[in-house]
Amino acid sequence: MTPFFVGRGKAGLVLGFDPRKTEAKQQFTSEGNSPSMSRNIPTINTRRLTLRAMRAEDFGRFAEIWAMPEVVTHISGKPRPKSQSWDAFLRNAGHWQITGFGQWAIEVHRQHQMAGQTGFFFGSRGLGDDFDPFPEAGWVLEPGSQGQGLGLEAVQAAHDWFDRVIAGRTVCMITPDNSGSLRIAREVGYVPLREAEFGGDVVQLLTRKGPVG
Protein backbone atom coordinates (compact mmCIF):
# COMPACT_ATOMS: atom_id res chain seq x y z
CA MET A 1 0.00 0.00 0.00
CA THR A 2 1.26 3.48 -0.78
CA PRO A 3 1.55 6.11 1.97
CA PHE A 4 -1.09 8.26 0.29
CA PHE A 5 -4.69 7.21 0.07
CA VAL A 6 -8.03 8.61 -0.88
CA GLY A 7 -11.06 7.62 1.14
CA ARG A 8 -14.71 8.53 1.28
CA GLY A 9 -15.99 9.71 4.62
CA LYS A 10 -19.16 11.46 5.72
CA ALA A 11 -17.84 14.71 4.29
CA GLY A 12 -16.99 13.18 0.91
CA LEU A 13 -13.64 12.54 -0.75
CA VAL A 14 -10.68 12.87 1.61
CA LEU A 15 -6.95 12.76 0.86
CA GLY A 16 -4.39 11.89 3.50
CA PHE A 17 -0.85 10.73 4.28
CA ASP A 18 0.00 7.81 6.55
CA PRO A 19 3.53 8.32 7.97
CA ARG A 20 3.63 4.67 9.08
CA LYS A 21 4.16 3.63 5.48
CA THR A 22 7.68 3.16 4.21
CA GLU A 23 8.07 5.92 1.66
CA ALA A 24 6.33 9.11 0.69
CA LYS A 25 5.26 9.11 -2.95
CA GLN A 26 2.59 11.09 -4.70
CA GLN A 27 0.41 8.11 -5.54
CA PHE A 28 -3.23 7.56 -4.78
CA THR A 29 -5.51 4.56 -4.35
CA SER A 30 -9.27 4.40 -4.30
CA GLU A 31 -9.65 2.71 -0.93
CA GLY A 32 -8.80 3.63 2.64
CA ASN A 33 -10.13 5.15 5.82
CA SER A 34 -10.77 8.86 6.15
CA PRO A 35 -7.71 10.45 7.82
CA SER A 36 -7.58 13.27 10.29
CA MET A 37 -6.86 16.63 8.66
CA SER A 38 -5.33 18.04 11.85
CA ARG A 39 -1.52 18.11 11.87
CA ASN A 40 0.87 19.18 14.60
CA ILE A 41 3.89 20.80 12.98
CA PRO A 42 6.99 19.91 15.02
CA THR A 43 9.47 22.48 16.29
CA ILE A 44 13.14 21.63 15.77
CA ASN A 45 15.93 23.36 17.67
CA THR A 46 19.57 23.30 16.57
CA ARG A 47 22.61 25.06 17.99
CA ARG A 48 21.76 28.37 16.30
CA LEU A 49 18.31 27.92 14.80
CA THR A 50 14.69 27.07 15.43
CA LEU A 51 12.64 25.44 12.69
CA ARG A 52 9.00 26.10 13.51
CA ALA A 53 5.54 26.33 12.00
CA MET A 54 4.82 29.43 9.99
CA ARG A 55 2.30 31.68 11.72
CA ALA A 56 -0.15 34.22 10.33
CA GLU A 57 2.01 37.06 11.59
CA ASP A 58 4.97 35.71 9.57
CA PHE A 59 3.37 36.57 6.26
CA GLY A 60 4.74 40.10 6.04
CA ARG A 61 8.29 38.84 6.51
CA PHE A 62 7.64 35.88 4.19
CA ALA A 63 6.53 38.23 1.41
CA GLU A 64 9.45 40.57 2.09
CA ILE A 65 11.98 37.74 1.72
CA TRP A 66 10.47 36.51 -1.54
CA ALA A 67 10.52 40.05 -2.95
CA MET A 68 14.31 40.31 -2.46
CA PRO A 69 16.21 40.06 -5.78
CA GLU A 70 19.11 38.33 -4.01
CA VAL A 71 16.78 35.56 -2.81
CA VAL A 72 15.22 34.74 -6.17
CA THR A 73 18.37 35.08 -8.31
CA HIS A 74 18.74 31.29 -8.64
CA ILE A 75 15.03 30.44 -8.35
CA SER A 76 13.00 32.43 -10.84
CA GLY A 77 15.09 35.57 -11.21
CA LYS A 78 11.97 37.64 -10.55
CA PRO A 79 10.90 39.02 -7.16
CA ARG A 80 7.60 37.46 -6.18
CA PRO A 81 4.51 39.72 -6.02
CA LYS A 82 2.75 39.78 -2.68
CA SER A 83 -0.29 37.97 -4.11
CA GLN A 84 1.89 35.05 -5.24
CA SER A 85 3.61 34.97 -1.86
CA TRP A 86 0.20 34.73 -0.20
CA ASP A 87 -0.70 31.75 -2.39
CA ALA A 88 2.59 30.05 -1.53
CA PHE A 89 2.16 30.82 2.18
CA LEU A 90 -1.28 29.19 2.24
CA ARG A 91 -0.13 26.28 0.10
CA ASN A 92 2.53 25.41 2.66
CA ALA A 93 -0.03 25.39 5.48
CA GLY A 94 -2.25 23.09 3.44
CA HIS A 95 0.66 20.84 2.56
CA TRP A 96 1.27 20.03 6.22
CA GLN A 97 -2.43 19.29 6.69
CA ILE A 98 -2.75 16.99 3.70
CA THR A 99 0.60 15.18 3.57
CA GLY A 100 2.01 15.37 7.09
CA PHE A 101 5.09 17.30 5.99
CA GLY A 102 5.89 20.71 4.57
CA GLN A 103 8.23 23.64 5.12
CA TRP A 104 9.27 25.31 8.35
CA ALA A 105 10.08 28.92 9.08
CA ILE A 106 13.78 29.28 9.92
CA GLU A 107 14.38 31.54 12.90
CA VAL A 108 17.85 32.46 14.13
CA HIS A 109 18.04 32.31 17.92
CA ARG A 110 17.32 35.65 19.60
CA GLN A 111 16.21 37.32 16.35
CA HIS A 112 12.48 36.54 16.67
CA GLN A 113 11.61 36.74 12.98
CA MET A 114 11.79 34.51 9.92
CA ALA A 115 15.17 34.32 8.25
CA GLY A 116 13.97 31.90 5.59
CA GLN A 117 12.35 28.53 5.14
CA THR A 118 13.21 24.89 4.52
CA GLY A 119 11.37 21.61 4.23
CA PHE A 120 9.60 19.40 1.73
CA PHE A 121 6.73 19.56 -0.74
CA PHE A 122 5.25 17.96 -3.81
CA GLY A 123 5.93 20.36 -6.67
CA SER A 124 4.07 18.52 -9.47
CA ARG A 125 6.53 20.08 -11.91
CA GLY A 126 6.01 17.69 -14.82
CA LEU A 127 9.66 16.61 -14.82
CA GLY A 128 9.10 12.87 -15.03
CA ASP A 129 8.44 9.77 -12.96
CA ASP A 130 11.97 9.75 -11.53
CA PHE A 131 11.33 13.15 -9.90
CA ASP A 132 7.69 14.25 -9.59
CA PRO A 133 6.34 11.45 -7.34
CA PHE A 134 8.87 12.13 -4.57
CA PRO A 135 8.99 14.84 -1.88
CA GLU A 136 11.06 17.77 -3.10
CA ALA A 137 13.37 19.54 -0.67
CA GLY A 138 13.79 23.30 -0.75
CA TRP A 139 15.50 26.03 1.24
CA VAL A 140 15.71 29.82 1.19
CA LEU A 141 17.61 32.26 3.43
CA GLU A 142 17.49 36.03 3.42
CA PRO A 143 20.82 37.63 2.42
CA GLY A 144 21.83 38.72 5.92
CA SER A 145 21.75 35.13 7.15
CA GLN A 146 23.79 33.66 4.31
CA GLY A 147 27.47 32.76 4.40
CA GLN A 148 27.42 31.55 8.02
CA GLY A 149 26.59 27.88 7.60
CA LEU A 150 23.00 28.46 8.72
CA GLY A 151 21.56 27.06 5.51
CA LEU A 152 23.32 23.73 5.95
CA GLU A 153 22.35 23.64 9.63
CA ALA A 154 18.68 24.13 8.78
CA VAL A 155 18.60 21.73 5.84
CA GLN A 156 20.40 19.01 7.79
CA ALA A 157 17.93 19.33 10.67
CA ALA A 158 14.97 19.11 8.30
CA HIS A 159 16.36 15.98 6.64
CA ASP A 160 17.14 14.37 9.99
CA TRP A 161 13.46 14.82 10.90
CA PHE A 162 12.29 13.50 7.53
CA ASP A 163 14.50 10.41 7.87
CA ARG A 164 13.06 9.62 11.29
CA VAL A 165 9.40 10.40 10.68
CA ILE A 166 8.67 9.94 6.98
CA ALA A 167 11.70 8.16 5.47
CA GLY A 168 12.44 7.37 1.86
CA ARG A 169 13.69 9.10 -1.23
CA THR A 170 13.67 12.88 -1.68
CA VAL A 171 14.65 15.05 -4.63
CA CYS A 172 15.66 18.64 -5.24
CA MET A 173 16.14 21.00 -8.18
CA ILE A 174 18.99 23.53 -8.32
CA THR A 175 20.35 25.76 -11.07
CA PRO A 176 23.92 24.79 -12.06
CA ASP A 177 25.31 28.21 -11.10
CA ASN A 178 23.92 28.07 -7.56
CA SER A 179 27.11 26.74 -6.02
CA GLY A 180 26.01 27.37 -2.44
CA SER A 181 22.86 25.27 -2.70
CA LEU A 182 24.65 22.55 -4.65
CA ARG A 183 27.19 22.34 -1.83
CA ILE A 184 24.43 22.07 0.79
CA ALA A 185 22.70 19.36 -1.25
CA ARG A 186 25.89 17.32 -1.47
CA GLU A 187 26.52 17.71 2.27
CA VAL A 188 23.14 16.18 3.15
CA GLY A 189 23.52 13.30 0.70
CA TYR A 190 22.09 14.35 -2.66
CA VAL A 191 23.66 13.04 -5.86
CA PRO A 192 23.02 14.18 -9.44
CA LEU A 193 20.07 12.59 -11.20
CA ARG A 194 20.05 14.41 -14.54
CA GLU A 195 19.69 17.83 -16.10
CA ALA A 196 16.29 19.11 -17.17
CA GLU A 197 14.64 22.25 -18.47
CA PHE A 198 12.23 24.07 -16.20
CA GLY A 199 10.76 27.52 -16.72
CA GLY A 200 13.05 28.11 -19.67
CA ASP A 201 16.20 27.40 -17.65
CA VAL A 202 18.48 24.39 -17.41
CA VAL A 203 18.36 22.91 -13.91
CA GLN A 204 20.17 20.09 -12.14
CA LEU A 205 17.90 17.45 -10.65
CA LEU A 206 19.31 15.63 -7.62
CA THR A 207 18.13 12.67 -5.58
CA ARG A 208 18.74 11.37 -2.07
CA LYS A 209 17.92 7.80 -1.19
CA GLY A 210 17.43 8.17 2.55
CA PRO A 211 16.49 5.33 4.89
CA VAL A 212 13.31 3.36 4.27
CA GLY A 213 11.59 2.31 7.49
User: Quick one: pLDDT band at residue 9, thresholds 50, 70, 90?
Assistant: very low
The pLDDT value given to residue 197: 94
CA 68 distance to own-chain centroid: 20
Higher pLDDT, residue 8 or 47? 47
pLDDT at position 13 over 80: no
**Residues pairing with 7 in the sheet:** 14
Looking at the domain assignment, is residue 10 inside a domain? no
Looking at the domain assignment, is residue 15 inside a domain? no
Q: What's the CATH code of the domain at 154?
A: 3.40.630.30
Looking at the domain assignment, is residue 28 inside a domain? no
Residues 52-63: pLDDT tens digits? 999 999 999 999
Looking at the domain assignment, is residue 9 inside a domain? no
The pLDDT value given to residue 33: 37
The pLDDT value given to residue 72: 83
Residues 101-158: pLDDT tens digits? 999 999 999 998 999 999 999 999 999 999 999 999 999 999 989 999 999 999 999 9
The pLDDT value given to residue 3: 38
Residues 165-195: pLDDT tens digits? 999 999 999 999 999 999 999 999 999 999 9
Looking at the domain assignment, is residue 196 inside a domain? yes
98, 17 contact by CB (below 8 A): yes
**Residues pairing with 51 in the sheet:** 44, 106
pLDDT at position 36 over 80: no
* Neighbour count for residue 41 (Cβ, 10 Å): 20
To the question of pTM greater than 0.75 for the whole model, the response is yes
pLDDT at position 49 over 60: yes
Q: Which residues, 6 or more positions from 22, have their beta carbon under 8 angstroms from its beta carbon?
A: 3, 167, 168, 212, 213
Looking at the domain assignment, is residue 199 inside a domain? yes
Nearest Cα residue to 119 out of 133, 100, 144, 132: 100
The pLDDT value given to residue 39: 61
Q: What is the C-alpha to C-alpha distance for residues 178 and 206, in angstroms, rounded to an integer? A: 13
Looking at the domain assignment, is residue 105 inside a domain? yes
Looking at the domain assignment, is residue 172 inside a domain? yes
Task: Please state the rounded mean pLDDT for residues 57-78.
Answer: 89
Task: Write out the residue range of the structural domain in which residue 165 sits.
Answer: 43-208
Q: How many CA atoms lie within 13 A of 200 on its CB side?
A: 2
Domain count, the chain: 1
